[in-house]
Amino acid sequence: MTIKITALAASIGAAVAVMPFATQAEITVLKQDPQAGNPLSRLNFTVGGSIRPQFQNMTGNDGANGYKRNGFDGGTRFRFAADYYLFDDINWISYYELGVNIPAVFDWDNHYAKGATDTTRRMLYTGFKSATWGTLTFGQQNSIYYDVVGVKTDIWDYDMIGQAPGNGINGDYDGSYRTRKSLKYKKTVGDVDLYASYLFSDDYNANNGLNYKRKGGGSLGADYHLTDDLTWGTHGTIPVRRCAATAIKLTIKILSVPR
């Protein structure tokens, strides 16, 4: 019994050591209520985000990771979303998400990585949404790979190290994560969410003597909702990164908390 309790305590301690403590909120600034002669009534505008202080107890004498033991920013972000009703069931949508490294902004020594930027553009896209025709967006947005495969295992901090975004040159450019210059389409047909995207050419300077050029490529994906709590997702790309991936997600509902 003593051994089991000790092992359990160690497991809980390890989880807490890398756990981000996030505080999040979302506010509806303008609520959509279309009225004749009032263009502003067609707009739904929300702001939100999450502040994510984090501690990670990394062993060893690696001075480069000392800031993680002291406490650092685990991915604070602020988002702005607009939904404008045009006609019939066609809406114009836009989304912007800004990443903020709070310790770097205030120059808190030993709480952020050397050379870290204060802010990061996480996502910025616009497009059209229709209950009949689906959703078409363009800009920097989550890749289809992340939507149908990656997000299912992106639960704890550093889960993505074993995924494509953690092994490519940069997830914002190689098509594996928050992809830049991406045209994406989504349509729900019955229990299946269908995805298709095209990546336009882009360049990336890694500032280490290497330059990356993306010529372009396509991507297809599907999310099949087997039950309310079980989803099977599959994805494939060509030719940016010739690969195929699949994942199954089982959601266990213990407690429902409004976001």
127 within some domain: yes
**Helix or strand or coil: residue 120?**
strand
User: How far is residue 144's CA from residue 140's CA, in Å, rounded to a whole number?
Assistant: 12
Does residue 105 lie in a domain region?
Answer: yes
Say if residue 103's pLDDT is above 80: yes
pLDDT of res. 159: 66
Of residues 255 and 234, the one with the higher pLDDT is 234
Q: Is residue 8 part of a domain?
A: no
126 C-beta neighbours (distance < 10 Å), count: 14
Same domain, 68 and 102: yes
Helix (H, G, I), strand (E, B) or coil at 165: helix
Name the domain boundary from 132, 155, 178.
132
Of 132, 165, 183, the one marking the end of a domain is 132
Q: What is the DSSP letter of 40?
A: G
- Please say if the pLDDT value at position 85 is more than 80: yes
In a domain, 256, yes or no: yes
In a domain, 7, yes or no: no
- Same domain for 35 and 128, yes or no, is yes
Tokens of 59: 């062993």
How far apart are the C-alpha atoms of 144 and 237, rounded to whole Å? Answer: 9
> Is the model's pLDDT at 196 over the cut of 90?
yes
Q: What pLDDT does 247 receive?
A: 55
The reported pLDDT for the residue numbered 175 is 81
Least confidently predicted of 48-62, 65-79, 195-209, 229-243? 229-243
Residues 26-35 have a mean pLDDT of 92
Tens digit of each residue's pLDDT (9 = 90 or more) over 113-135: 888 899 999 999 999 999 999 99
Residues 127 and 145 in one domain: no
Is 11 within a domain?
no
Q: Which long-range contacts (CB under 8 A, 24 or more apart) does 224-231 make?
A: 224/191, 224/192, 225/191, 225/192, 225/193, 226/191, 229/253, 231/152
Using 50, 70 and 90 to split pLDDT, how confident is the model at 50? very high
Residue ranges making up the domain that contains 208: 136-259
Split into its structural domains, the chain has a count of 2
Across the range 93-106, mean pLDDT stands at 96
253 contacts: CB under 8 Å, gap ≥ 6: 229
Same domain, 152 and 105: no
Average pLDDT over residues 53-63: 76
Task: Mark whether 197 and 248 lie in a shared domain.
Answer: yes
